[in-house]
Structure 1
């Protein structure tokens, strides 16, 4: 049975449609962690993610009447959070040009480093990417967008999307390699 049919969620959604503050608060609390995990992938800091999260929930509360209840609420919420993050990105760098940095040399990364890393550490590495790389990486790798969809969302060419994804992966490899080297040096002392 789809999650939108659960009695509790349906009751919350009905309350939110009636502009009931308590229902809005409970819906916010119920989906806060899930929504925050999405927002963190598209931002540099927890504060920026929270700003996007709050903007996203405002959109949810004002556009809830357009939600198709035959579909998954969680997927709808996810799409709104991603689009809100993209809107935030467009607003922040409206006149900036996407980075065009030379690709780094190939770097070997021990996969055991990735396996031992906590989710928060991986998100932290993604947050350290430039905004263009972070967005393309998150959209393509984590959220499954195609390069055509990314190009349309970010108003860039498909080639720029592919290039930014390649460069984002390379930067992440370099960061992971540094962690690998740091761990090796720590153990060998």
Structure 2
């Protein structure tokens, strides 16, 4: 699906809002290359980018009922992805600060953490 007409895109959105899986696949096929590139720019690894892509589309399909006809679907989708990526990065930073012992790599540091927890 290269450049769908406004009418076709409107039909696809309406069917997505009704939970139609084929329409969701068409929307995914249309936007996934651009969204994957955006995810790659904001991820540390390709695996993380793939995770962000899937999380982003889950949010898009979860919130598609909120999409207003006449709005720019690409901009709306990108906005969902921006929020999804920001939340992911926030959780990643939060986890690293709440559980600093997870980042310790040497055996000595790991043993020190173990000793502190057991004292």
TM over 0.5: yes
- List aligned pairs for 1:64-143, cutoff 5 A: 64-96=64-96
Ranges of 4+ aligned residues in structure 1 off by more than 3 Å: none
Give the aligned length: 95
Q: Partner residue of 1:60? A: 60
Q: Are residue 41 (structure 1) and residue 11 (structure 2) matched? A: no
Contact 1:35 1:81 in 2 (8 A): yes
Provide closer, same or farther for how the CA distance between residues 76 and 4 of structure 1 changes in structure 2, counting only shifts above 3 A.
Answer: farther
Q: Deviations over 1:60-116 (max 9, x none)?
A: 11111111222200001111111111111111110546xxxxxxxxxxxxxxxxxxx
Q: Which runs of 5+ in 2 are unaligned?
A: 98-119
TM-score, normalised via structure 1 length = 0.47
- CA RMSD after TM alignment: 1.9
Q: Are residue 16 (structure 1) and residue 16 (structure 2) matched? A: yes
State the shift of 1:17 in Å.
0.6
TM-score, normalised via structure 2 length = 0.73
Q: Deviations over 1:126-169 (max 9, x none)?
A: xxxxxxxxxxxxxxxxxxxxxxxxxxxxxxxxxxxxxxxxxxxx
Instruction: Pick the structure with greater CA Rg.
Output: 2
